Amino acid sequence: MKRRDFLGKSFASSVGLSASMWLPGSLLASELPADITELSSSALSAAIRQRQVSAVEVMQAYLQRIHRYNPVYNAIVSMVQDDKLLAQARDADQALARGEYRGWMHGMPHAAKDLTAVAGLPYTSGSPVYADRIAASDSPMVARIRAQGAIFIGKTNTPEFGLGSQSYNQVFGATGSAYNPALTSGGSSGGAASGLGTHMLPAADGSDAMGSLRNPGAFNNVIGFRPSVGLVGGSDPFARSLATSGPMGRNTEDAIRLLHTLAAGPVADQPMSLQDALPGTEQFNALNLQNLKLGWMGNYQNYLSMESGVLELCESSLGSVASAGAVVEPVMPQFNMSDLWQCWIDLRNAGRVSYADLYDNSDTRALLKPELIWEIEQSFLLTAKDISVANSVRSRWYRELNRLFDEYDLLVLPTAQVFPFSKDLHWPTEINGRQMDTYHRWMEVVIGGSLAGIPVANVPAGFDAQGRPMGMQIMGRFGEDKKVLEFAMAYEAVTGHLDKRPQMVESA
């Protein structure tokens, strides 16, 4: 079979995935080699394994695209030199010729979020404090990705220490949205999402405490998936963390593949890890939407301020889901949402004690952004009673969500309270005239999923009149990651928002 004929196929036979999995009908740009970058990571994986495209061709195509567009979007930082990457790609081709297949990411370019260590690459965490730090070894997550054959081409941009849903820092600057590089890509996985949306990356890893996989997914029209806490191992083996790593994909199929790579499974040094292995990729099939019951939380009956148009876009998309047979009903949790916010603030600030050494040193404190300094200082004011009360509120919230999941299959919220805004603005200070009293209050909509530790997928909700993308959070019961992702697969089929590609902007 000729390469061009192969690339024109739907790749329904992609290795390791069920043929029933929904795949886009149109996967290609019009010409090679640039069209290689239009392949989903699942399709690219099949093309490389079946030797219809070489890893060298793939690397050349991605490098060409990155050099053309990354100066404008600033998604990928700390790039490895081209000749070194092409040498690694040649090695991948030679290995495959010998019958040595490393995994589904064999020969594929990958850039890890700059909050995780990749051996030999800069590891700045977006902070001038660590501007010159080089990682001595791979993080466990990176090691799992490398074991699947990926070639690390650099890092993806992030705000300082991942704080804030706007990916700017003093080391590399700000990252632009794939759909308008003058606007923010969101954060903290903003470089990852922009790299996906611009097709400068085939897949991307990220992490999420306060929407850091979801908000960038919405602002770049890609899938961002926050797994159940414990599915992907964390840094503290005993903590029920607010944060977790997770996958991003151009479509749900790609996110599922990468999730299987990131998920550690039961491991000895992670006693809080989920003990049931994630079902194999071949077991994922789009949900039957007929009579599926969705609880639409909207803006919590006006508790949350939202920019005009956000709710309308989400409700329009839910209309498509309802037309396919699902039942969509408005629902309001029986909960004081102000209590939930205070719970979030106290638990989040408690984690900032880990930065006390940087704060106590006057030289490093001068390099920290004001928002981090504020959070560190807030952590010093917390008492044991504050943390006890916060944990009690968190437990009550988890029980309330479980009560709702007894009635609804899934719960739905907008992913953000505002559309992408200027990347020169650090954070919105007001929404519809309501003042934001902290630098992260404008992303309050995401804390419910984070506090509960449940699986949440961002799915695209469409675009406003200015062409700005928005997304919705699809939340499932703890441990029902498969169900959430299978809904996302079905959602793709009835909405088609992922088919809309950005008009790319080149540097002058």
End-to-end CA distance of the chain: 40
Asked if residues 448 and 226 have their Cβ atoms less than 8 Å apart, the reply is no
30 has a pLDDT exceeding 50: no
Euclidean distance between CA atoms 299 and 312, whole angstroms: 11
Asked if residues 96 and 48 have their Cβ atoms less than 8 Å apart, the reply is yes
Kind of pairing between the strands at 293-296 and 410-414: parallel
**This model's pTM is above 0.85:** yes
What does the chain come to in residues?
Answer: 508
Residue 364: CB atoms within 10 Å:
16
Confidence class for position 11, pLDDT limits 50, 70, 90: very low
Amino acid identity of residue 466, one-letter, is: Q
Residue 357: CB atoms within 10 Å:
9
DSSP 6-60: HHTS--TT-TTS-TTS---S----SSTTGGGGGS-HHHHHHHHHTTSS-HHHHHH
Backbone angles phi, psi at 154, to 5 degrees: 165, -155
Per the structure block, which two tokens stand in for 488? 């996302």
pLDDT digits (tens, 9 = 90+) for 369-419: 999 999 999 999 999 999 999 999 999 999 999 999 999 999 999 999 999
CA distances from 157 to 62, 179, 368, 472 (A): 17, 17, 17, 23
Residue 238: CB atoms within 10 Å:
9
**Higher-pLDDT residue of 4, 444:** 444
pLDDT of 223 reads 98
Asked if residues 96 and 54 have their Cβ atoms less than 8 Å apart, the reply is no
507 has a pLDDT exceeding 50: yes
Which of 485, 426, 21, 37 is closest to 228 using CA atoms? 485
Domain 3-21+28-331+407-499 CATH (choose: 3.90.1300.10, 1.10.40.60, 3.40.50.300, 3.40.50.920): 3.90.1300.10
**For the residues 414-425, what does the mean pLDDT come to?**
98
Angle at 189 between CA 110 and CA 411, to 5 degrees: 115
pLDDT digits (tens, 9 = 90+) for 318-344: 999 999 999 999 999 999 999 999 999
Helix axes 140-147, 252-262, angle to 10 degrees: 120
Confidence class for position 278, pLDDT limits 50, 70, 90: confident
Backbone angles phi, psi at 432, to 5 degrees: 50, 40
Per the structure block, which two tokens stand in for 207? 């992490």
Asked if residues 445 and 197 have their Cβ atoms less than 8 Å apart, the reply is no
Alpha helices in 467-506 (DSSP H): 481-495
Domain spans of the chain, in order of start: 3-21+28-331+407-499
Strand partners, 458: 224, 473
**% the chain with pLDDT above 70:** 89
pLDDT of 270 reads 67
Euclidean distance between CA atoms 359 and 377, whole angstroms: 9
**% the chain with pLDDT above 90:** 87
Which of 446, 424, 449, 428 is closest to 437 using CA atoms? 428
pLDDT of 241 reads 83
pLDDT digits (tens, 9 = 90+) for 196-234: 999 999 999 999 999 999 999 999 999 999 999 989 976
**For the residues 435-446, what does the mean pLDDT come to?**
98
**For the residues 44-50, what does the mean pLDDT come to?**
96
Kind of pairing between the strands at 293-296 and 327-330: parallel
Confidence class for position 22, pLDDT limits 50, 70, 90: very low
pLDDT of 236 reads 64
Strand partners, 470: 462
Amino acid identity of residue 395, one-letter, is: S
pLDDT digits (tens, 9 = 90+) for 93-111: 999 999 999 999 999 999 9
**Higher-pLDDT residue of 31, 36:** 36
| Average pLDDT of every residue of the chain | 92
pLDDT digits (tens, 9 = 90+) for 148-202: 999 999 999 999 999 999 999 999 999 999 999 999 999 999 999 999 999 999 9
Confidence class for position 17, pLDDT limits 50, 70, 90: very low
Euclidean distance between CA atoms 117 and 114, whole angstroms: 7
12 has a pLDDT exceeding 60: no
Confidence class for position 32, pLDDT limits 50, 70, 90: very low
The DSSP element (H or E) to which 208 belongs, if any, is strand 204-208
